[in-house]
Amino acid sequence: DAKTTQPPSMDCAEGRAANLPCNHSTISGNEYVYWYRQIHSQGPQYIIHGLKNNETNEMASLIITEDRKSSTLILPHATLRDTAVYYCIVRVGHNAGNMLTFGGGTRLMVKP
């Protein structure tokens, strides 16, 4: 699976949009971009994933650049409960069956 690079930490004001970047310059054509987050003392939580089109769900939006070498996770109106470590993961296909490879993630701190 392709390696990802994320900033180690970011701050965001409550109510503002949080934009979390991820670089995956070695991504292959059959690799998807997944985002998970981990709130303190809990297991990781799936947020969203995409292949090449932008995606939106009730939690977030995912913007993938046209060359697919980077992506941005957008939390449109961050709340204090969004404070967590956010992991960007690239993996092959949907039925590869195997593991997720977590990097260090971005520690997002939402401040009042």
Partner 1 sequence: DTGVSQNPRHKITKRGQNVTFRCDPISEHNRLYWYRQTLGQGPEFLTYFQNEAQLEKSRLLSDRFSAERPKGSFSTLEIQRTEQGDSAMYLCASSLDGGARGYTFGSGTRLTVV
Q: How far is the CB of 23 from partner 1 (least distance, A)?
A: 16
Q: How far apart are CA 51 and CA 2, in angstroms?
A: 13
Give how many residues touch partner 1 by CB under 8 A: 25
Our finding on whether 93 is near partner 1 (CB under 8 A) is yes
Q: How far apart are CA 90 and CA 4, in angstroms?
A: 7
Our finding on whether 76 is near partner 1 (CB under 8 A) is no
- Of 5, 28, 96, 111, the one binding partner 1 (CB under 8 A) is 96
Q: For residue 8, give the H/E element and its range.
A: none
In this structure, which long-range contacts are made by residues 54-57, counting pairs with CB atoms below 8 Å and at least 24 apart in sequence? none
Eight-class DSSP state of 98: S
Q: How far apart are CA 106 and CA 10, in angstroms?
A: 7
- Binding part of the chain for partner 1, among 11-19, 22-30, 44-52, 61-69 by CB under 8 A, reads 44-52
Our finding on whether 53 is near partner 1 (CB under 8 A) is no
Our finding on whether 94 is near partner 1 (CB under 8 A) is yes
Residues that bind partner 1 (CB under 8 A): 34, 36, 41-47, 49, 85, 87, 93-105
